[in-house]
């Protein structure tokens, strides 16, 4: 095992293809070195060493120590300096670098090598005492916090008792005493004294001396980076992002270069294109006389890199690097162009200028929001940097979600009261209540409240609260601050650097321009423009079709996809919406939602509570015209595409009133000429102990064939009418919950009989329709050949198939499934992403057996998994013809279907699109018999499915559909 990879002086042992071993940062530094960029020399200790370090109980394995010493010698040679040398000391940085970037999650220690032996030499050499003591106090702060406290497993009692906070307190009180605003105001003498105070504070807080030996500092730094992989913040972030623990992190040790050596030095971060809009402009921030952390930490508002990056009201009055130092800026532009050509993707870079010399510290693929990802991908095709297939892989299906996100209504926004402006760090609009701590945001967000997390700045500890909030607002920080990076990665609405905010955590208030807002007050954010408004500004649905690059990308996707995309829709409005998003047919029309109009439900209840066929038929005759109109509307809205209409599925008790609803019961009793007592007895008799496995699905139609006949008649008469009107329609009648072929045959017979009658009645020679079944009972999957001999199509009902296949109740599994996912028993919630090895295998068996009996058997899936990219890839692989999902998932499904084809061709997505478990939420989602209701189209069901295109906590739950 080679444990250390060197880079420096134009040559590196690693390259960009070695991310797994060297981490993203290490691999890219190696690559930059190889293509001749000015990179300070250094080396990367591999992720394998990290894994071994943990296996060996916290020891550096094998020859790591020896290889590190050898590599340090090489750095010394290139830099012409010595580590610990009293005259020309070499200082190094130690940084983490995992395979995929985890902004701010892990540790960095700078200025390692400064000690009592090297300080005088560095002062003499630099002629800058102030700089040396400033570097030293930074080293003491970082090292004591990261190595001596965190890595040693010391848990401070509260936020203020940690060593870093204690040191910062000393600094703040010194600044206050002296009347200084910035750290840069401190003199050399003051800093020297401060370092002394720092060291004795470290001793008193931690109980150990600050190490004065460079090598001890280096080993401590290296080990602490490894330790930080298993720190609380990193674990939390990994869980949210689906990053496996076994990846480990690499450690990068690199010669220090300084951006804080005076006014001819600087440090900055930049994106080769604008990460918020995707525009092809160089976009960045920098600070004169500063170290890298100053830019990202958001303590000082950074200057814009160039005129194009200036933000009105933020940094437009500050000089840009382009204006102040055109020579360095020109060099940087050259590097930008080279990097984009080399990587053929947008890069996020860090640079330092030391006494007028430019050094590149890092490049990595830049995080971007969905809109920007699409624009960049399409633009880069036009610029001939990439081909269309690569462009497709550059956009993660979930990123399309952002284009479908609501925005603040532009008309309403004009008249809304803008309180202040910040930077547009995350897309879309958010309306929520102010919450000032991450914990409360997490709690309230989990409880379903809409909250906006408002902080001075965010830190990696805040990720759970940031995740739960609908939006994030910070007073400090730039476009590269922690809040901005994280929000952009998640596509979450976010405004940063709103400097006018005065936040008082103790009083729980936010004061802005004299207006005092309390925690719990409503505000609205426009994350695309960076504006904060008072109160609730109405939101509007997004219109992705207005984005030309989106249309292009989707066309490329459709051109290569094999899977068809249909929608789950129960009314013409949803059908029309889904068509706009690109659906070509309805894969599931749940007819139970159609019985809830005032008059309909009465007839429905009368039908259910009739104790004889005659009364039932009378009630059904009243329902027929309603159903026919519904089907007419939906078939027409989807013409000429197919519409799969499922016969009645839910247990009947779901349509009935509670026995306490006496007024309703009396009405039904009157209609049926029965007594109240009698009706109550019938309602009670319909109660089932396990309704999901009870009298539902085709069992209803089998025991009451008149129900199937009415529905079939309504569908076919609507189709006949449309046929006569010259509208092309393709109804597909689907029998639910079939487990045995004879169940299907029974229902098919009823449907075919009705079809003959309708054809005759309407004088038609031919009536275009199909009869098929859902495959949602494991027995049906196993006997699919027998069923396919009778059925023209299958649609996999993967919600029920998961319920019955895994034996997990759709409505009650919330009490244990999150634990299952957290502990790795299931990789993800099987109701969100198909359990490929188990339920998926049932699908595969059914496909194989079904097609063995009927070669042209048409196959689709209409469970919630139809909108999940990982599941879509699986359905593509097993050979389904289409997936069907809710309208807002359609664009995601279209892109995922294209990705599935590209995966076949060996193309890899930029990042794994793993379905996210709800950040390990342990709370049981609210469920009850009602919540599991199949029948009731509660307003929240509809609103929920429209408003929230992402997979819900429990996609299996009927209520969440
Ligand atoms: C299914 O079971 O997957 C399905 C689509 O039907 P429902 O969710 O209505 O039970
Ligand atoms: Mg079902």
Peptide bond into 640 cis (omega under 30): yes
Report pLDDT for 469. Answer: 96
Pairing of strands 249-255, 92-98: antiparallel
pLDDT band at 298 (very low <50, low <70, confident <90, very high): low
Q: What is the pLDDT of residue 884?
A: 96
- For 803-850, the pLDDT digits (tens) are 999 999 887 787 788 788 888 899 888 988 999 999 999 999 999 999
36-40, 527-531, 804-808: least confident range: 527-531
959 pLDDT above the threshold of 70: no
E-strand stretches of 187-291: 249-255, 266-271, 283-288
Q: Cα torsion at 942, 948, 954, 958 (round to 10°)? A: 10
698-707 mean pLDDT: 96
300 exposed, middle or buried (CB, 10 Å; 0-12, 13-18, 19+)? middle
The helix/strand/coil state of 362 is strand
pLDDT value of residue 697: 97
**Which regions of 763-920 does DSSP assign to beta strands (E)?**
770-775, 793-796, 858-861, 882-885
Model confidence pLDDT, tens digit, residues 466-479: 989 999 999 987 66
Cβ of 886 closer than 6 Å to ligand 1, yes or no, is no
795 Cα nearest atom in ligand 1: 5
* pLDDT at 698 (0 to 100): 98
- Decide: 590 in ligand 1 pocket, CB within 6 A: yes
Tens-digit pLDDT profile for residues 893-903: 999 999 999 99
Tokens for 354? 């030391």
Looking at residue 663, its pLDDT comes to 87
Task: List the structure tokens of 840.
Answer: 């998926």
**Has residue 58 got a pLDDT over 80?**
yes
Task: Quote the ligand 2 centre to 462 CA distance (angstroms).
Answer: 39
Average pLDDT over residues 852-872: 95
100 CA to centre of ligand 1 in angstroms: 36
The model's pLDDT over 267-288, given as tens digits with 9 standing for 90+, comes to 999 999 999 889 999 999 999 9
Q: What value does the mean pLDDT take over residues 343-362?
A: 95
Q: What is residue 764's three-state secondary structure?
A: coil
| Cα 960 to ligand 2 centre (Å) | 14
Encode pLDDT of 782-792 as tens digits.
999 999 999 99
Asked if pLDDT for residue 175 goes beyond 60, the answer is: yes
- Give the pLDDT mean for 92-105: 84
What is each CA distance from 396 to 418, 894, 898, 912, in whole angstroms?
33, 11, 11, 9
pLDDT tens-place string over residues 398-431: 888 778 778 888 778 878 889 998 887 887 899 9
pLDDT band at 907 (very low <50, low <70, confident <90, very high): confident
For residues 953 and 800, the model is more confident at 800
DSSP states of 708-736: HHHHHHHHHHHHHHHHHTT---EEEEEE-
Q: Report CA(334)–ligand 1 centroid distance (Å).
A: 56
Beta strand pairing call for 539-540 and 564-568: unpaired
Nearest CA residue ID for atom 6, ligand 1: 797
Contacts of 366 (CB under 8 A, 6+ apart): 271, 272, 273, 275, 345, 346, 347, 348
Range in 588-597, 745-754, 767-776 with the lowest mean pLDDT = 588-597
* Token digits of residue 711: 């529905």
pLDDT tens-place string over residues 720-770: 999 999 999 999 999 999 999 999 999 999 999 999 999 999 999 999 999
Task: Report the separation in Å between the CA atom of 621 and the middle of ligand 1, taken as the mean of its atom positions.
Answer: 27
- Contact between 879 and 813 under an 8 Å Cβ cutoff? The reply is no
pLDDT of 934:
55
Distance (angstroms) between ligand 1 centre and the Cα of 448 equals 25
d(CA 585, CA 890): 11
**Is the pLDDT score of 496 beyond 90?**
no
Does 577 have pLDDT greater than 60? yes
pLDDT at 299: 65
Question: Edge-to-edge strand order for the sheet containing 108-112?
Answer: 11-12, 4-8, 42-45, 249-255, 92-98, 108-112
For all residues of the chain together, what is the average pLDDT?
88
Only one residue has tokens 């003491």, namely: 140
Nearest CA to ligand 1 atom 3: 797
Annotation says 862 is catalytic: yes
Nearest atom in ligand 1 to 798's CA: 3
- Mean pLDDT for 565-593 is 92
Which token pair is 743?
């169940």
Q: Is the shortest distance between the CB of 701 and ligand 1 below 6 Å?
A: no
Lowest mean pLDDT among 305-314, 565-574, 766-775, 874-883: 305-314
Which pLDDT tens digit goes with each residue over 121-141?
999 988 999 999 999 999 999
**CB of 805 sitting under 6 A from ligand 1:** no
Distance 774 CA to ligand 2 centre (A): 8
Return the pLDDT at 314.
76
Q: Is any ligand 1 atom within 6 A of the Cβ of residue 592?
A: no
Q: What pLDDT was estimated at residue 909?
A: 58
- 405 catalytic? Reply is no
Structure tokens at 847: 């496909």
Q: What is the spatial distance between Cα 893 and Cα 883, in angstroms, rounded to a whole number?
A: 8
Helix, strand, coil in percent for the chain, rounding step 5: 50, 15, 35
Q: Report which of 457, 447, 379 is spatially closest to residue 422, judged by C-alpha positions.
A: 457
Lowest mean pLDDT among 200-214, 338-352, 899-913: 899-913
What is the phi/psi pair of residue 730, to 5°?
-135, 80
Indicate which residue's Cα is closest to atom 10 of ligand 1.
800
Ligand 1, atom 4, residue with closest C-alpha: 797
State how far the Cα of 766 lies from the Cα of 759, in Å rounded to an integer. Answer: 7
Catalytic residue chosen out of the listed positions 589, 806, 862, 885: 862
pLDDT in tens, 221-239: 999 999 989 888 788 788 7
DSSP label at residue 383: T
Question: Residues 449-459: what's their mean pLDDT?
Answer: 92
pLDDT for residue 927: 29
Ligand 1: residue of 568, 588, 933 to mutate (most ligand atoms within 8 A of CB) is: 588
* Ligand 1 mutation target, pool 863, 889, 952, 960, most atoms within 8 A of CB: 863
Position 553 confidence tier, pLDDT thresholds 50, 70, 90 = very high
Which tokens is 704 given?
């009451």
Catalytic residue among 482, 593, 723, 858: 482
Q: What is the largest CA-CA distance in the chain?
A: 106
Cα–Cα distances in angstroms (integers) from residue 110 to residues 96, 199, 231, in the given order:
12, 17, 19
pLDDT at residue 439 greater than cutoff 70:
yes
In short, whether 900's Cβ falls inside 6 Å of ligand 1 is no
What confidence score (pLDDT) does residue 919 get?
33
Interval 643-656: pLDDT, tens = 999 999 999 988 88
Distance of CA 182 to the CA centre of its chain: 37
């Amino acid at each position: 095992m080679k444990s250390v990879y060197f880079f420096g002086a134009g040559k590196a042992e690693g390259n960009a293809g070695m991310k797994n071993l060297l981490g993203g940062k290490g691999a890219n530094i190696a690559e930059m070195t190889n293509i001749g960029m000015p990179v300070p020399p250094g080396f990367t200790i591999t992720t394998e060493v990290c894994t071994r370090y943990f296996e060996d109980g916290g020891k550096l394995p094998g020859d790591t120590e020896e290889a590190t010493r050898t590599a340090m010698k090489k750095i010394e040679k290139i830099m012409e300096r010595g580590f610990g040398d009293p005259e020309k000391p070499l200082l190094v940085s130690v940084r983490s670098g995992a395979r995929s970037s985890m902004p701010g999650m892990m540790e960095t220690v700078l200025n390692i090598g400064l000690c009592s032996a090297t300080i005088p030499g560095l002062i003499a050499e630099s002629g800058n005492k102030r700089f040396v003591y400033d570097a030293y106090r930074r080293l003491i702060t970082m090292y004591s916090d990261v190595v001596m406290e965190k890595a040693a497993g010391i848990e401070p009692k509260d936020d203020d008792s940690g060593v870093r906070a204690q040191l910062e307190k000393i600094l703040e009180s010194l600044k206050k005493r002296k009347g200084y605003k910035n750290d840069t105001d401190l003199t050399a003498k003051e800093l020297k004294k401060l370092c002394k105070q720092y060291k004795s504070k470290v001793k008193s807080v931690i109980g150990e001396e600050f190490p004065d030996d460079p090598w001890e500092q280096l080993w401590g730094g290296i080990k602490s980076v490894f330790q930080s992989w298993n720190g609380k913040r990193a674990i939390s972030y990994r869980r949210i992002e689906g990053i496996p623990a076994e990846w480990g992190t690499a450690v990068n040790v690199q010669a220090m270069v300084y951006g804080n050596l005076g006014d001819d030095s600087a440090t900055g971060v930049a994106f080769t294109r604008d990460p918020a809009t995707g525009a092809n402009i160089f976009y960045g921030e920098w600070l004169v006389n500063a170290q890298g952390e100053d830019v990202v930490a958001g303590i000082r508002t950074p200057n814009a890199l160039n005129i194009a990056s200036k933000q009105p009201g933020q940094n437009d009055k500050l000089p840009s690097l382009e204006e102040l130092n055109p020579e360095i800026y020109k060099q940087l532009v050259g590097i930008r162009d080279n990097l984009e050509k080399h990587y053929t993707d947008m890069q996020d870079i860090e640079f330092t200028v030391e006494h007028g010399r430019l050094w590149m510290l890092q490049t990595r693929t830049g995080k971007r929001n969905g809109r920007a990802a699409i624009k960049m991908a399409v633009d880069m095709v036009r610029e001939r940097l990439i081909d269309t297939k690569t462009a497709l892989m550059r956009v993660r299906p979930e990123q399309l979600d952002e284009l479908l996100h609501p925005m603040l209504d532009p008309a309403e926004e004009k008249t809304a009261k803008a309180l202040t402006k910040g930077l547009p760090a995350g897309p879309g609009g958010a309306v929520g209540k102010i919450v000032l701590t991450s914990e409360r945001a997490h709690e309230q967000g989990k409880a379903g409240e809409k909250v906006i997390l408002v902080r001075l700045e965010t830190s990696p500890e805040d990720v759970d609260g940031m995740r739960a909030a609908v939006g994030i607002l910070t007073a400090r920080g730039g476009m590269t601050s922690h809040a901005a990076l994280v929000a952009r990665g998640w596509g979450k609405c976010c405004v940063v650097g709103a400097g006018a905010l005065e936040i008082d955590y103790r009083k729980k208030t936010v004061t802005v321009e004299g207006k005092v807002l309390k925690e719990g007050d409503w505000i609205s954010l426009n994350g695309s423009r960076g504006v904060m408004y008072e109160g609730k500004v109405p939101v509007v649905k997004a219109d992705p079709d207005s984005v030309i690059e989106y249309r292009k990308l989707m066309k490329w996707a459709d051109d290569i996809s094999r899977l068809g995309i249909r929608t789950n829709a129960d009314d013409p409005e949803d059908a029309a919406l889904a068509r706009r998003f690109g659906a070509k047919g309805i894969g599931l029309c749940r007819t139970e939602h159609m019985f809830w109009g005032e008059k309909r439900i009465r007839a429905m209840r009368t039908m259910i509570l009739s104790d004889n066929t005659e009364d039932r038929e009378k009630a059904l005759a009243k329902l027929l015209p309603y159903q026919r109109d519904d089907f007419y509307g939906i078939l027409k809205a989807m013409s000429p595409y197919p519409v799969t209409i499922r016969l009645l599925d839910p247990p009947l008790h779901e349509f009935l009133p509670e026995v306490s609803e006496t007024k309703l019961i009396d009405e039904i009793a009157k209609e049926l000429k029965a007594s109240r007592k009698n009706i109550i007895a019938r309602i009670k008799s319909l109660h089932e102990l396990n309704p999901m496995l009870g009298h539902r699905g085709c069992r209803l139609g089998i025991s009451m064939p008149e129900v199937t006949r009415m529905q079939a008649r309504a569908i076919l008469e609507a189709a006949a009418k449309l046929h006569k009107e010259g509208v092309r329609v393709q109804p597909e009648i689907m029998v639910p919950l079939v487990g045995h072929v004879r169940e299907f045959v029974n229902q098919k017979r009823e449907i075919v009989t009705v079809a003959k009658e309708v054809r005759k009645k309407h004088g038609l020679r031919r009536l275009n329709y199909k009869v098929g079944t859902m495959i949602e009972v494991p027995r049906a999957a196993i006997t699919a050949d027998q069923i396919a001999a009778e059925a023209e199509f299958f649609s996999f009902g993967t919600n029920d198939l998961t319920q019955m296949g895994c034996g997990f109740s759709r409505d009650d599994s919330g009490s244990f499934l999150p634990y299952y996912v957290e502990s790795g028993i299931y990789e993800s919630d099987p109701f969100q992403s198909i359990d490929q090895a188990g339920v998926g295998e049932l699908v595969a068996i059914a496909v194989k057996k079904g097609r063995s009996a009927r070669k042209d058997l048409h196959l689709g899936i209409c469970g919630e998994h139809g909108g999940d990219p990982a599941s879509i890839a699986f359905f593509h692989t097993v050979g389904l013809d289409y997936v069907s999902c809710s309208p807002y998932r359609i664009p995601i499904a279209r892109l995922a279907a294209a990705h599935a084809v590209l995966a076949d061709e060996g193309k890899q997505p930029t990042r794994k699109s793993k379905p996210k478990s709800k950040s390990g939420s342990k709370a049981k989602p609210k469920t009850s018999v009602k919540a599991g209701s199949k029948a009731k189209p509660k307003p929240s069901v509809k609103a929920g499915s429209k408003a929230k295109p992402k997979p819900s906590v429990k996609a299996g739950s009927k209520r969440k559909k």
